[in-house]
Amino acid sequence: MKPFLEKFFPSVLKKASEAKTNVYCVYDSQLLTAFTSSLYVAGLVASLVASRLTAAYGRRTTMILGGFTFLFGALINGLAANIAMLISGRILLGFGVGFTNQAAPVYLSEVAPPRWRGAFNIGFSCFISMGVVAANLINYGTDSHRNGWRISLGLAAVPAAIMTVGCLFISDTPSSLLARGKHDEAHTSLLKLRGVENIADVETELAELVRSSQLAIEARAELFMKTILQRRYRPHLVVAVVIPCFQQLTGITVNAFYAPVLFRSVGFGSGPALIATFILGFVNLGSLLLSTMVIDRFGRRFLFIAGGILMLLCQIAVAVLLAVTVGATGDGEMKKGYAVTVVVLLCIYAAGFGWSWGPLSWLVPSEIFPLKIRPAGQSLSVAVNFAATFALSQTFLATLCDFKYGAFLFYGGWIFTMTIFVIMFLPETKGIPVDSMYQVWEKHWYWQRFTKPTST
């Protein structure tokens, strides 16, 4: 938005208005990317702290704390008078996202019946995607107003308030309550989740949860890093680190955050660029909904592989199209028909991500850890995600400027690598109860050498 750039990033606006410029480098500003990526530094710190909070006070309390923090961050951003306020608000948003991203996937994994766990967890990603679509619509609707950027940033307080208030009306998970010695509350919570008509199943599940919680309580004195570095948890450690890193190396986050910039660079005006970004978000949402319907039927591996192949082809096609039109120097002109083709390719790419690495990168790490290290394991995964997102979002515009169309080949190479990793090293977790997940590692052709035949 021009008024936003005028107030906070005038140098970027000046560069964009120059008659002759390299389209790859128009928005290469470290201050501009700092505004975006500061959220992820704060999220990284918050996600590491959140594991202690989640273990001590429960998943629900952590989500409420995240909602409050996000609410205040949104208000500061909407009232920002200078760049310091803008980035300070962004940091508070990061803390809010860090707390909730750690707690919410674990909460969903623990309350969902095993046969529906995939759909429950993808609901988390679906609502993130809905938020992206809503934000793009708001951006488009406020684009022509002088203070439209204030409305756009400030309205983030609305979903934060809804989430915070909503969490007041739910109970914590049975696993979390048992780990904190609240057996009666855990029994009540499980009855609410499964229904009193399934009392026999509830008692059986509760007995299993009690057994797992006892192991978790006994392990409280152990240092998390000492525990997860044990040989038997090597598969969990590798997957918890590699999966979130690979999710960001698909390039989707930087494409999503800088989509308006990217579309303006290839020939769209401000309004059309925002419309194209909305279409991109809507396609991603549609594919997430599709994933919700098929995840527990076809499994995690199939969706990972199919999405990876589709994204790889699209990244190569975009790179070729940019090379042919604007060239390596970035001073060529892309005709409208080619620019529309770029949008179509990125939409197909977003669809592939939406049913694969988007939701599954949150689902898989949240379901693979045993209860004794589940909060800390999820924190590690979220922290790695934030660290990777920060690094890539902080460097994307500079990478686009230096690599030119090769930036898309760079991400394509990583997509190829991660697809091979899934084929070779990621076991299928469809339909396996979270407290019996150790079985998939013991049966895997490679990871079985690290695990022991034990349920802990």
How far is Cα 303 from Cα 370, in angstroms, rounded to an integer?
24
Residue 428 binned pLDDT confidence (cut-offs 50, 70, 90): very high
202-260 confidence digits (pLDDT tens): 888 888 888 777 766 665 555 556 777 788 889 999 999 999 999 989 988 666 655 66
Helices (H), 112-198: 117-142, 148-154, 157-167, 174-179, 183-194
pLDDT bin (cut points 50, 70, 90) of residue 63 is very high
Comparison of pLDDT for 298 and 224, the residue scoring more: 298
Q: Is 454 left (phi over 0), alpha (psi -120 to 50) or beta?
A: beta
Task: Say if 294 falls within a structural domain.
Answer: yes
Establish if 189 belongs to a structural domain. no
Question: DSSP for 52-65?
Answer: HHHHHH-HHHHHHH
Per-residue pLDDT at 180 exceeds 50: yes
pLDDT band for position 166 (50/70/90)? Answer: very high
Is residue 367 pLDDT above 70, yes or no?
A: yes
Residue 396 lies in a domain: yes
For 201, the token pair is 């199943």
pLDDT on residue 19: 45
Q: What is the pLDDT of residue 28?
A: 61
**Residue that the structure tokens 């199939």 belong to:** 302
Average pLDDT, stretch 165-194?
89
State the residue for tokens 């890093």.
Answer: 225
10 Å Cβ neighbour count for 402? 13
Quickly list H helices, 219-258. 224-228, 234-249, 252-257
Mean pLDDT along residues 284-306: 88
Mean pLDDT of 33-62: 84
DSSP string, 369-407: S-GGGHHHHHHHHHHHHHHHHHHHHHHHHHHHHHHTTHH
> Rounded to the nearest 5°, which phi and psi values hold at 382?
-65, -40
Nearest to 76 by CA among 60, 103, 94, 50: 94
pLDDT tens, 375-401?
778 788 888 888 888 888 777 777 777
Q: What is the CATH number of the domain that holds 307?
A: 1.20.1250.20
Tokens linked to 436: 């019996």
CA end-to-end span of the chain: 53
* Per-residue pLDDT at 214: 74
Domain-located, residue 47: yes
User: So what's the pLDDT on residue 205?
Assistant: 83
Structure confidence by residue, pLDDT tens digits, 14-41: 776 664 556 566 666 667 777 777 888 8
Is 204 within the bounds of a domain? no
CB 265 within 8 A of CB 396: no
Q: For residue 349, what are the domain limits?
A: 24-170+222-451
Coil, strand or helix: which one is 311? helix
Per-residue pLDDT tens digits for 299-358: 999 999 999 999 999 999 988 888 888 766 656 566 777 777 888 888 899 899 988 998
Domain count, the chain: 1
- The pLDDT, as a whole number, for residue 455 is 45
**Does residue 73 have a pLDDT over 90?**
yes
Give the model's confidence band at 423: pLDDT under 50 very low, under 70 low, under 90 confident, else very high. very high
Q: Does the residue 208 lie in any domain?
A: no
pLDDT of residue 289: 84
Per-residue tokens: 14:
């000046």
**% the chain with pLDDT above 90:** 26
Q: Which range, of 38-47, 56-65, 411-420, averages the lowest pLDDT?
A: 38-47
The whole-angstrom separation of Cα 329 and Cα 433 is 54
Average pLDDT rounded to a whole number, residues 188-204:
83
Q: Residue 403 domain-assigned?
A: yes
Question: Would 431 be classed as within a structural domain?
Answer: yes
**Tens of pLDDT along 91-131?**
999 999 999 988 998 898 888 887 788 888 888 888 888 88
Give the SS3 label for residue 19.
coil
Select from 88, 74, 77, 78 the least CA-distant residue to 34: 88
Dihedral angle computed from the Cα positions of residues 405, 406, 409 and 411, in that order, rounded to the nearest 10 degrees: -100
pLDDT at 274: 67
Asked whether 346 and 255 are in contact (CB, 8 A), the reply is yes
136-157 average pLDDT score? 89
Is residue 301 within 8 A of residue 369, CB to CB? The reply is no
